[in-house]
Amino acid sequence: MGATILGIGSAIGFASGSTASSAESETAPINLLTTVDFLQDEGESEAENICLQQNSPNLLINPSFEGQYTTYVPDTPIDDCPAGVCTTAQIPAGWTPFWRSHDDNDDPWIIRQPEYKPACIGTTPCPFPNRLRDGQEALQYFTFFSTHEGGAMQRITVTQGADYCFSGWGHSWSADDSDDAISGPVEGELYQKIGIDPTGGTDWTSTNIVWSDADNHPWGRIQYDEYGLFTVETTAESDHITVFVYSQPRFAMKHNDVYWDDTYLAQMTSVYTTSITATNDIIALTDITETVQISQSVDFSITGTGPLEGYTWTATITDPVGLTNTLPLTPTFNRSSGGLTETLVISVDTTGLITGSYAADVLITTDPITGDTPIRVPIRVYIVEEVSRVYLPLTIK
């Protein structure tokens, strides 16, 4: 009398599903200001600020450049600041200024140390309301009849491997006249950008830094006279990251003034959704004298928005849930881990098994974890003395 195997197996195909776009790189309409003979990007609207859509607290200290501004005292003395005190750099709490020092071999108007100050000069209401976006102060720095390369930075503790989004609002006033407080008609081609060093370094010249607006110009984009949104995203490669606001004008102007306000650093929420449809149905019926590879396609899909590169899964065998009087089963995998398009095939070898109920669960864990994972796939094998019933669907691959 030959024993009969009623078997269940599973094969899991990982489909990439809809791989939604990552960072929106939509370019806002180009407008020509009537007073400035230069094209500029209006920037994204607040509604498009992806950092605000992450359900994350703002991780920055003093993100709106508020409160008392104090004299910058570098940790190690620098030549630009006699006696180690930078009296012309008045800085809000939480932020550290940076700039390229003047090279004495250059003309005197080339790359000077900017002066830093509160845009509203500590006065409420702000006497220059167009320079304020949020709260009661904004960061202002400028060079007079000269150019600069500089900005401010902040280093923050984060979770290594998580994605972060940094946004900030900025604009500038670049003009060779003081007839009004708007840029042009002669202007200095003043660029702005923001960045993240995913390694947590504080060298603002580091090539590790991921910059916004890099597709426009290495120095960023021009954002004259009214606040525009700058955003950048990256994955933390350390337990710290450093954020930067940056500017550089090409030409010396009487006014090369830069304003920053209302920044936000968010840990980006995983917006993947995963789903798996596995069945407990018996899918094969065979005699023990036949050696069969029992498998079943199980649909596993990942959908949603967000960066999907680097998404991986790992499969492990674990004890079954909710069963008693079963014997342990040891399924085998074609691979125990993989990426989006790599298929997991679970196989069960029934050779030599005596009659009885066998069970194991396979746990599939994804990285990053999504809302529906880990996923538990039950594997059940019943070996009986003889065939008494046939279950459908019958699928043998």
The residue range among 151-159, 170-178, 277-285, 378-386 that interacts with Ca ion, by the rule CB under 5 A, is: 170-178
The residue range among 7-15, 179-187, 243-251, 339-347 that interacts with Ca ion, by the rule CB under 5 A, is: 179-187
Q: Which of 88, 200, 208, 234 is nearest to 150 (CA)?
A: 88
134 binds Ca ion (CB under 5 A): yes
60 binds Ca ion (CB under 5 A): no
Separation of alpha carbons 162 and 179, rounded Å: 48
The residue range among 105-113, 254-262, 265-273, 370-378 that interacts with Ca ion, by the rule CB under 5 A, is: 254-262
106 binds Ca ion (CB under 5 A): no
The residue range among 44-52, 137-145, 247-255, 266-274 that interacts with Ca ion, by the rule CB under 5 A, is: 137-145
Q: Are 53 and 201 in contact (CB under 8 A)?
A: no
Q: Which residues contact 389 (CB under 8 A, 6 or more apart)?
A: none
CB of 26 to Ca ion, least distance (A): 26
Task: Tell me whether residue 171 or residue 380 sits nearer to Ca ion (CB atom).
Answer: 171
In the list 24, 37, 180, 367, the residue contacting Ca ion (rule: CB under 5 A) is 180
What are the distances in angstroms from CA 3 to CA 18, 110, 207, 295, 355?
45, 90, 67, 20, 7
Containing 224, the helix (H) or strand (E) segment is none
Q: Which two tokens stand for residue 181?
A: 């407080």
Separation of alpha carbons 115 and 257, rounded Å: 9
The residue range among 20-28, 103-111, 180-188, 237-245 that interacts with Ca ion, by the rule CB under 5 A, is: 180-188
Task: Tell me whether residue 102 or residue 133 sits nearer to Ca ion (CB atom).
Answer: 133
Task: Tell me whether residue 175 or residue 379 sits nearer to Ca ion (CB atom).
Answer: 175
Task: Tell me whether residue 177 or residue 349 sits nearer to Ca ion (CB atom).
Answer: 177
Is the Cα torsion angle 27, 61, 96, 128 positive or negative in sign? positive
CB of 174 to Ca ion, least distance (A): 9
The residue range among 19-27, 119-127, 193-201, 253-261 that interacts with Ca ion, by the rule CB under 5 A, is: 253-261
In the list 4, 40, 64, 256, the residue contacting Ca ion (rule: CB under 5 A) is 64
261 binds Ca ion (CB under 5 A): yes
In the list 12, 60, 111, 175, the residue contacting Ca ion (rule: CB under 5 A) is 175
Q: 38-55 burial string, b = 16+ CB within 10 Å, else e?
A: bebbebbeeeebbbbebe
Containing 90, the helix (H) or strand (E) segment is strand 86-92
Q: Are 12 and 275 in contact (CB under 8 A)?
A: no
**Number of alpha helices (DSSP H) and beta strands (DSSP E) in the chain:** 0, 26
225 binds Ca ion (CB under 5 A): no
Query: What 3-state class would DSSP assign to 72?
Result: strand
Number of Cβ within 10 Å of residue 116's Cβ equals 25
94 binds Ca ion (CB under 5 A): no
What are phi and psi for residue 82, nearest 5 degrees?
A: -55, 140
Pairing of the two strands 115-118 and 139-146: antiparallel
CB of 170 to Ca ion, least distance (A): 12
Task: Tell me whether residue 135 or residue 368 sits nearer to Ca ion (CB atom).
Answer: 135
CB of 162 to Ca ion, least distance (A): 27
CB of 179 to Ca ion, least distance (A): 6
How many residues does this entry show for the chain? 397
In the list 135, 304, 338, 378, the residue contacting Ca ion (rule: CB under 5 A) is 135
Residues that bind Ca ion (CB under 5 A): 64-65, 134-135, 138, 175, 177, 180, 182, 261
